[in-house]
Amino acid sequence: MLEVDVHHRAGGFALDVGVSAGDGVTALFGRSGAGKSTLVGMIAGLVKPATGRIVLNDRILFDSKNDIDLPARQRRVGVVFQEARLFPHLSVRRNLLYGQWAGGRRNAPDLDAVCGLLGLDTMLDRSPDTLSGGEAQRVAIGRALLSAPDILLLDEPLSQLDGARRADILPWLDRLAHEAGTPIIYVSHAFDEITRLADNLIVISDGGVLASGPVEDVVSRIDLGPATGRHEAGSILHGEVRRHDEAYGLTVLSLNGADLTVPAIAAPAGAPMRLRIRARDVVLALEKPTKISVRNIIPVTIAEIAFEEGAFAEVLTRTGEQNLRARITRQSAEELGLKPGTQAYALIKSVAIVRRTPASR
């Protein structure tokens, strides 16, 4: 368990943050300049807070009242930055083994296991200057893991990669999140990365914490639009594979007893799934439509409506015990007479499959 309560001022910027993080992936999300990287630097021992306290697994890393400030090398924290920062004169293998040596811990992970986890087996004898950006970041993550950290800090590890490279490395990060067994703090201002990888989410804005909690709960909050960005606003829902329609290349998921049809997924029947549905991809209707191309029509109950300045309204609905957001015009909301308790139907135009969620999580 990581517990952080720190206060700091640098120039005109003030950081005043109290957060905690446990097992799994905890994401720090916020716009550039919100204070995410500064907070990571404080946890790692690279930035000294003015006052406060940082505790990791009951070990005090920093305590201003008691004049405790462990140096970075003693904190058992693995850090991966935006740039891979590999040693250019060492091979991939030697870069990885350096992490194991620098950690100096008897319970360091096995090199072969880490290479298998991150797909590094075929590049051990290569020089860093022959690696793509995504490959170099995987090596940097492997080096950090081999130091046997008590927590792994990933500070916007994909921000320097183009769309294709990001797509290449995300599955490896997904696997890392599931299988490494090391708690991860994942920093990003890319909402698609957060919703794919995170179990818990902390939203930071202007040096303070706006919201924290399970990622499903935080992303469904319609009051966080200015901090999270409205274009990518949406919901995360959980379902499972019910059957496959091979003739049409589709998979049918079960979501609170309703069927949800999506492009084919390579997963067996009964496999749990985590879905990301953008609010802009949801249409609301008071009556169940017929003779329509949209395949996904789900009964919902209106839970909350936020009328914004301008053309749009944010609508939070409930399907079973899960939240589903819709972004519609204010005119539509008023003409339909939407209010909390209204029964409606959600028409989902497209569904983004975020990742398969193992039953153990």
Residue 229 lies in a domain: no
192 and 134 part of one domain: yes
The predicted-structure confidence for 44-70, as pLDDT tens digits, reads as follows 999 999 999 999 999 999 999 999 999
Q: How many separate domains does the chain show?
A: 2
CATH number of the domain bearing residue 31: 3.40.50.300
| Collapsed DSSP state (helix, strand, coil) of residue 25 | strand
166 and 300 part of one domain: no
Tell me the β-bridge partners of 252: 243, 261
45 and 153 part of one domain: yes
CB-neighbour burial class of residue 248 (10 A; exposed 0-12, middle 13-18, buried 19+): exposed
Measured at the CA of 208, the angle between CA 205 and CA 212, to 5 degrees, comes to: 85
161 and 247 part of one domain: no
Count of all residues that appear for the chain in the document: 361
Domain span holding position 306: 234-353
Identify the pLDDT of residue 140: 92
206 and 244 part of one domain: no
User: Measured between alpha carbons, how far is residue 97 from residues 104, 136, 319, 342 in Å?
Assistant: 11, 15, 49, 60
| Collapsed DSSP state (helix, strand, coil) of residue 222 | coil
Cα 221 versus chain centre, distance: 16
213 and 103 part of one domain: yes
157 and 277 part of one domain: no
What DSSP assignment string belongs to 167-217? HHHHHHHHHHHHHS-S-EEEEES-HHHHHHH-SEEEEEETTEEEEEEEHHH
The predicted-structure confidence for 112-121, as pLDDT tens digits, reads as follows 988 988 899 9
181 and 304 part of one domain: no
Structure tokens of 88?
A: 């250019």
Last residue of a domain, one of 168, 187, 219: 219
| Collapsed DSSP state (helix, strand, coil) of residue 97 | helix
Residue 164 lies in a domain: yes
Identify the pLDDT of residue 167: 79
Identify the pLDDT of residue 358: 45
Residue 193 lies in a domain: yes
CATH number of the domain bearing residue 347: 2.40.50.100
List the chain residues with pLDDT less than 70.
Answer: 103, 106-107, 225-232, 350, 352-361
User: Measured between alpha carbons, how far is residue 222 from residues 265, 303, 342 in Å?
Assistant: 30, 11, 18
Give yes or no for a contact between 194 and 19, defined as CB atoms under 8 angstroms apart: no
Residue 361 lies in a domain: no
Identify the pLDDT of residue 355: 54
Residue 360 lies in a domain: no
Give yes or no for a contact between 153 and 187, defined as CB atoms under 8 angstroms apart: yes
* Single pTM value for the model: 0.85
194 and 264 part of one domain: no
Question: Who's near 266: CB < 8 A, 6+ residues apart?
Answer: none
119 and 215 part of one domain: yes
Tell me the β-bridge partners of 240: 254, 272
The predicted-structure confidence for 220-269, as pLDDT tens digits, reads as follows 888 876 666 666 688 899 999 999 999 999 999 998 888 899 988 888 99
